[in-house]
């Protein structure tokens, strides 16, 4: 296996992007980082800047305002990186489908920048922290 991918799997640093979420998924992400779940066991660390990140945890439907910023954040993330769509809205727009303010599901917005982006989906409203861990593990094992 490529040493770069191996190291990436062992230490994925995540950056949290809110693309117009209702805050429910965000609270679950914060819950994921509490001592109870202790994701530092797997080397997962929340970082403050997209330039340090290996994975973007995107929540929310991707509003027209947020889409521009989301693309910018994706461009600022050093490659190789993984995008996680957290929650029903980010995966498939959820109840906001067809809304006037919606720029599309998150994967569509990201693919406009990079058609070959690696995107993983964790559905749920909100997804449980266990579901997120399982999603991260599955996505990393595919890499």
Partner 1 sequence: MGAIFKRKGKDTKMIEVLQNLLWMLIFPGFLFTVVFGLVASWIVRKVSALLQWRVGPPFFQPFVDVLKLTGKEVLIPEQAQRTVFMMAPLIAMAGTLLLSTMLWRITIEPTKLFVGDIIVAIYLMVLPSLALILGSSASASPHAAIGTSREMKLVMSYELPLVLAFIVVIIKTGGQLNLATIAEHTPVFSISGLLAFLAALLCIQAKLGFVPFDIAEAETEVASGVLIEYSGALLAIWKLTQAMLLVALPLFLVMVFLGGFTKSLWTGLGKYVLILVLLILIKNTNPRIRTDQAMKFFWFYCGTTLAAAIILATLGNYYGIAWL
Q: Which residues bind partner 1 (CB under 8 A)?
A: 3-4, 7-8, 10-11, 35, 38, 40-41, 43, 46-49, 51-52, 54, 76, 78-80
For residues 62 and 28, is the Cβ–Cβ distance under 8 A?
A: no
Closer Cβ to partner 1, 73 or 91, answer by number: 73
**Nearest approach, Cβ of 113 to partner 1 (angstroms)?**
14
Q: Is the dihedral of CA 61, 67, 70, 74 positive or negative?
A: positive
Based on CB atoms, which residue is closest to partner 1, 11 or 97?
11
- Minimal distance, residue 125 CB to partner 1, in Å: 27
Contact between 124 and 139 under an 8 Å Cβ cutoff? The reply is no
- Give me the least distance between CB of 43 and partner 1, in Å please: 5
User: Please, which residue, 77 or 96, has the CB nearer to partner 1?
Assistant: 77
Please report the DSSP string for 63-110 in residue order.
BHHHHHHHHHHHHHSPSS-EEEEESHHHHH-GGGTT-TTB---HHHHH
Question: Which stretch of DSSP H or E encloses residue 31?
Answer: helix 24-32
Closer to partner 1 by Cβ: residue 3 or 100: 3
Q: Nearest approach, Cβ of 105 to partner 1 (angstroms)?
A: 26
């Amino acid at each position: 296996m490529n040493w770069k991918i191996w190291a990436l799997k062992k230490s994925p640093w995540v950056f949290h992007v809110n693309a117009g979420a209702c805050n429910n998924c965000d609270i679950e992400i914060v819950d994921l980082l509490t001592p109870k779940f202790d994701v530092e066991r797997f080397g997962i660390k929340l970082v403050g800047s997209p330039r340090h990140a290996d994975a973007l945890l995107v929540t929310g439907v991707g509003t027209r305002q947020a889409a521009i910023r989301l693309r910018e954040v994706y461009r600022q993330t050093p490659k190789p990186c993984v995008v996680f769509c957290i929650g029903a809205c980010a995966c498939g727009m959820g109840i906001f489908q067809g809304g006037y303010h919606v720029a599309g599901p998150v994967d569509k917005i990201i693919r406009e920048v990079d058609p070959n982006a690696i995107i993983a989906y964790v559905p749920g409203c909100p997804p449980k922290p266990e579901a997120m861990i399982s999603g991260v593990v599955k996505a990393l094992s595919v890499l």
